[in-house]
Chain A
Amino acid sequence: EPEVTQTPSHQVTQMGQEVILRCVPISNHLYFYWYRQILGQKVEFLVSFYNNEISEKSEIFDDQFSVERPDGSNFTLKIRSTKLEDSAMYFCASRVSGNTIYFGEGSWLTVV
């Protein structure tokens, strides 16, 4: 069964450093998402992406964040200057056209 894949599974970074999290959505999917989950808390929507542009973003997704689909298969989330509070599990997700959203295994980001 096709899956959303994410890399890295875990990254530790110094505060202030840039981080890029990578995702390969399911190949025929058209809509892409990033969510984050701070340890022990609920999942929070960050951004949705469709037709090579951001379709919606939450208040969390400020100027420190950006997304890109550079080559038609990868979907990346960049955090320009990481803060301690960016430590979380980041989930990439995708869907084709129906409601069902498929999640990747997540990238655990630890900012020290």
Chain B
Amino acid sequence: DAGVIQSPRHEVTEMGQEVTLRCKPISGHDYLFWYRQTMMRGLELLIYFNNNVPIDDSGMPEDRFSAKMPNASFSTLKIQPSEPRDSAVYFCASSSSSRVGGYTFGSGTRLTVV
């Protein structure tokens, strides 16, 4: 398995632009998580899905953030409009129901909003 695949690896955009981050989880994993990592706040859970259904989006900072999972093999995190304070590394992770096997993380998308 290729692991969790995220794209793009790096994104630089201007304030006010729309940004879409993409994630392909590991096949067979039924949980998908979006995290944001900054030096100040560490790893923050934004939202997670179970069987493609959003379960908890309480970590989504504002209405500017939205996430979808149209099928078991694809998810997006969208920021519209983007702001400089959104600059961070965004990680997608997936896991099986048992979670004992832990989360498998992608390599992340480093977002810079200028």
Q: Do A and B bind each other?
A: no
